[in-house]
Amino acid sequence: MNSCPQAEKIIYYCLGALADKAKEDFEIHLKSCELCQHELGVEMAIENELSQEFEPGFVENRIRARLELRQAQDMRSFWLYAFRMAVYGLTAAIIGFVLIPFLLKFPLESVLDLSKYTDGAAELLGKLAPGNAFFVILGFCFIAVFIASMYSLAQIRRL
């Protein structure tokens, strides 16, 4: 930031909005003030960058090139992606089956004894399914939660 009291005139000078007398006074000031000279150089560089004309399709070609590069990198990193998904799954399993019950002081012994639930589930299914139907249903639920967790973690990573 320029601490010169005439620094506010730099932008007006660049835009050609100063009156002739003010312009001459500012040009005299510019010869002696290094801060204003530097600030004027920065403003002129910005003006040059902003006034550049790009050929039609320049931005689109740059975006297309970046997308192709990203797709090529994604193809090469399949194993990294698979490893990342495995780590996400392991993390979800640890959090779901170890950390949350531990934090809630949930008695894991009562959860591991599922025989009382399998009998109830078999009765609910009208005794048409075997006694291990509960484990099949629980397995499908676990797979659904696992896939949903993997998908959501992958989407979070893309943000």
Interval 101-119: pLDDT, tens: 666 666 655 555 556 665 6
Q: What is the pLDDT of residues 4-37, one digit of tens each?
A: 777 788 888 888 888 888 888 888 888 888 888 8
* pLDDT value for 114: 58
Rounded Cα–Cα distance for residues 62 and 157 (Å):
24
Tell me the H-state helices in the chain.
9-15, 20-32, 34-50, 58-76, 78-94, 100-103, 108-112, 115-124, 133-158
Both tokens of 109, joined, read 């012994």
* CA dist list (Å): 20 to 16, 47, 73, 134: 10, 22, 58, 90
Q: Does 158 have pLDDT greater than 60?
A: yes
Q: What is the mean pLDDT of residues 88-97?
A: 77
Which residue's entry shows tokens 């599922």?
114
Cα–Cα distance measured from residue 120 to residue 134, given in angstroms and rounded to the nearest whole number: 9
pLDDT confidence of residue 84: 78
Report the alpha-carbon angle 77-82-84, nearest 5: 90
Q: What is the pLDDT of residue 60?
A: 83
Of residues 83 and 123, more confidence is placed in 83
pLDDT on residue 40: 85
pLDDT of residue 2: 60
Asked whether residue 51 carries a pLDDT value surpassing 70, the answer given is yes
Distance CA 102, CA 107 (A): 8
Please tell me which residue, 122 or 97, carries the higher pLDDT value: 97
The pLDDT of residue 144 is above 70: yes
- Which position has the higher pLDDT, 88 or 154? 88
